[in-house]
Amino acid sequence: MSAHFEIPRDVVADFCRRHQIRRLALLRESLTSEEGLDVLVEFDSGVKVGLLQLARLERELSEALDRSAHLLTYRGVERSANPLFKEAIIDSAVLQYEHK
């Protein structure tokens, strides 16, 4: 098992403010994995993000953290038809940033 991964809070806060992200969490397994980070994001109300923009955000966050990042949205997870998937993702989310 590798050491606990610490993300630079200032980098994450800046990324979230620039992209109108209200909430950002890492999935618990990502904190100790040497693989990529699984990141859960919620955008501010009224913000529309398509797949291409989500891919750009993934790339930008990966570069900023010097580690591969895979983005999921709270909205996408909440809409999942699989209640076990939804519960597992939400339960393993470790909040890193929140703007109210």
The 10s digit of each residue's pLDDT in 10-24 is 999 999 999 999 999
Q: What is the pTM for the complete model shown?
A: 0.87
Which pLDDT score, from 0 to 100, does residue 31 have?
A: 65
Distance CA 2, CA 64 (A): 21
- Between the CA of residue 14 and those of 20, 87, 97, what are the distances in Å? 10, 29, 10
Closest CA to 30 of 59, 5, 64, 3: 5
Confidence class of residue 34 from pLDDT cuts 50, 70 and 90? confident
Confidence class of residue 1 from pLDDT cuts 50, 70 and 90? very low
Closest CA to 96 of 34, 5, 33: 5
Q: Quote the CATH superfamily of domain 9-98.
A: Beta Polymerase, domain 2 (3.30.460.10)
Give the up-direction half-sphere exposure of residue 51: CA atoms within 13 A in the CB hemisphere. Answer: 0
